A and B are shown apart, each in its own frame.
Chain A
Amino acid sequence: MSNLCPFALVLRCLQRFHSLAETSSVIFRKRVFAHPSSFAAQRRRDPSKKMQLTLEFGGGLELLCDSVKIHNVNVETPKGAQQLAMRDLLVWVQKNLIKERPEMFIKGDTVRPGVLVLVNDCDWELSGQLDTTLEEKDVVVFISTLHGG
């Protein structure tokens, strides 16, 4: 990957999001792209822009949102904030998608124990948890760990 310019990397990542069938490779999250035509740069010029995100729920968490697993949503960056962070997204999800038993999703200001959060197929622990900032067309997965067998 290192011999590619950042712009090419962004393109490559976006292509990957569109081809969900591709399963063998792991997308490593890069947060340092500064190419003028990247989405991040576009958003800086237009901070009120709504961000298109794909949110997925699994491992039983979908039962909290009318049993719908995949939600294509537009989320607005909070007033005064430069970027949408996972912290903001959790508040938005709780308000807009969780229809029952919110305690099965949130505990305190984060997800309850036993829920894995993946931003573009990558554990949010690796991108700063609640501080992870989101970009246009990001895919965020909330999955409850299973114990059955």
Chain B
Amino acid sequence: MDSAGADAARILGEIESLKATRSDIEAKISALEAQLKGLSCRDGNGSCPPATAAGAGLGLGLGHGLAPEMIYRYSRQLLLPSFGVQAQSNLLKSSILVVGAGGLGSPALLYLAACGVGRLGIVDNDVVELNNMHRQIIHTEAYIGRSKVESAAAACRAINSTVQIVEHREALRTTNALEILSKYDIVVDATDNAPSRYMISDCCVVLGKPLVSGAALGLEGQLTVYNCSGGPCYRCLFPTPPPTTACQRCSDSGVLGVVPGIIGCLQALEAIKIASAVGEPLVERMLLFDALSGRIRIVKIRGRSLLCEVCGENATFSRQQFQEFDYEKFTQAPLSASAPPKLNLLSEDSRISSKDYSERLKNGEAHILVDVRPEHHFRIVSIPNSLNIPLSTLEKRVAEISSALNEAEGQRDANLYVICRRGNDSQRAVNHLQKIGFTSAKDIMGGLESWARDVDPSFPTY
């Protein structure tokens, strides 16, 4: 175990250093490519986009302002009788901001870049991670560890170099939201948490911008357009934030990659419709997608609420109020879907570090290890010989713990350790176990994450 652990650590170290070298080289290549592009622009050899799309075709007397290469590039859209030259021309003059370059933002950005939006902004503060790749299809492995905005912008430019891509490598906050959003005609909410959704909607109301809102989790997705054509805002629908326990994250509940992909594509579609002034936007209606049953239903939702605190008849929600509003406090949730805060429910002597536990394990201490994660987590990976009793079933299955303890008892009393993924549920479990008489129960601090970090680097994390 020890030498295997050391080997794994060495290999991981080597991989890390190779990755760092690779990303250095890639950064240099990007810089050189940009330099080259600048040179060829000045040479005027035509590989660069025209400064403005409009006006280029006027010399031919076309009237609509589409340059010949634009006509060719977008010909399949121009051929649509219900879209055509006018809609394409509208699109080329429009600007769209996508907040979040994740599961929803990936396909939305790819299609918006491809279809010929004039200016496309991307806001995100995250870096690309391996466990994003299954759904955040705009990013490639070469960008792991680098800014999502940088990665997404490169992908958009690769698809359509004539679109102006604007990178906002920062988290959207009340301090910068007004300034950033005000530069765009349409906002696409592709974020992953409740406070951001309230903040973006409020900001769109203050600035009078239509908001294309999508969400996906597990095998379901939802889509609607807020603050558009007299329709409701996010707060009209959800005046009171949900309890934090109702806000599931993809990192806890999981998500099938294609599900946000579908919703993100639909977000691109709604944004294109609004930008090109074609069709009926999904206002006062909500699309509900259920992947498992293969059903899409479109339901009628309420209109603008006269009593809405932000967009209602007597609402006086100003820029200043927006900037001073504490969205994290309002929703009791952080403005990023990061890991939940670490609980501290137990006294020091009821807790043990993963390192100390591994020592006791090595010394052959009589004990049992209860893993309180849900069963489908346990099936992904677990510590050998641990007993899976999910927290939700703990009360009903106390007898199993008692009998396992009796079996493990040698000459000494067997100890009882509890572990989970991150070290919060294990504390809740120990709290309960101590109350019902298992006074020596201890929680392994930081859960399997700390086990993987401090004891066994080859132990899979998820």
The secondary structure that dominates the A interface is loop
B246 touches which of A23, A100, A144 (Cβ 8 Å): A144
Residues of B within 8 A of A21 (CB): 295
Please state if A69 and B285 are interface contacts (CB–CB under 8 Å). Answer: no
**A7–B409 alpha-carbon span in the complex (Å):** 75
Please state if A69 and B293 are interface contacts (CB–CB under 8 Å). Answer: yes
Please state if A122 and B220 are interface contacts (CB–CB under 8 Å). Answer: no
Report the contact-size class of chain B (Cβ under 8 Å from the partner). Answer: 35 or more
Q: B384 CB to closest chain A CB, in angstroms?
A: 30
Please state if A145 and B222 are interface contacts (CB–CB under 8 Å). Answer: yes
Residues of B within 8 A of A104 (CB): 243, 245-246
| A125 CB-CB contact with B under 8 Å | yes
Q: B432 CB to closest chain A CB, in angstroms?
A: 16
Identify which of residues 81-135 in chain A touch chain B, using a CB-to-CB cut-off of 8 Å.
100, 103-104, 112-116, 118, 121-123, 125-126
Residue of chain A at shortest CB distance from B217:
A148
Given A58-B220, A147-B215, A148-B192, A113 and B243 touching (CB < 8 A)? Answer: yes
| A26 CB-CB contact with B under 8 Å | yes
Please state if B241 and A113 are interface contacts (CB–CB under 8 Å). Answer: yes
Please state if B242 and A145 are interface contacts (CB–CB under 8 Å). Answer: yes
Residue of chain B at shortest CB distance from A104:
B246
* Of B71-79, B100-108, B419-427, the one touching chain A: B100-108
| A60 CB-CB contact with B under 8 Å | yes
Residue of chain B at shortest CB distance from A60:
B248
Please state if B216 and A149 are interface contacts (CB–CB under 8 Å). Answer: yes
| A5 CB-CB contact with B under 8 Å | no
Q: A142 CB to closest chain B CB, in angstroms?
A: 12
Q: B264 CB to closest chain A CB, in angstroms?
A: 8
B190 touches which of A24, A58, A141, A149 (Cβ 8 Å): A149
**A113–B332 alpha-carbon span in the complex (Å):** 14
The secondary structure that dominates the B interface is mixed
Please state if A23 and B296 are interface contacts (CB–CB under 8 Å). Answer: yes
**A95–B250 alpha-carbon span in the complex (Å):** 30
Given A114-B238, A125-B302, A26 and B285 touching (CB < 8 A)? Answer: yes
Residues of A within 8 A of B277 (CB): none
Residues of B within 8 A of A100 (CB): 392
Please state if A60 and B217 are interface contacts (CB–CB under 8 Å). Answer: yes
Please state if A146 and B215 are interface contacts (CB–CB under 8 Å). Answer: yes
Please state if B217 and A147 are interface contacts (CB–CB under 8 Å). Answer: yes
Identify which of residues 23-67 in chain A touch chain B, using a CB-to-CB cut-off of 8 Å.
23-24, 26-28, 58-60
| A1 CB-CB contact with B under 8 Å | no
| A143 CB-CB contact with B under 8 Å | yes
Residue of chain A at shortest CB distance from B102:
A149
Residue of chain A at shortest CB distance from B295:
A20
* 20 pairs, CB–CB < 8 Å, chain A vs chain B: A23-B298, A69-B293, A112-B243, A112-B246, A113-B241, A114-B241, A116-B301, A118-B299, A121-B297, A121-B300, A123-B301, A125-B301, A144-B242, A145-B215, A147-B191, A147-B337, A148-B337, A149-B216, A149-B250, A149-B260
A contacts, CB < 8 Å to B: 20-21, 23-24, 26-28, 58-60, 69, 100, 103-104, 112-116, 118, 121-123, 125-126, 141, 143-149
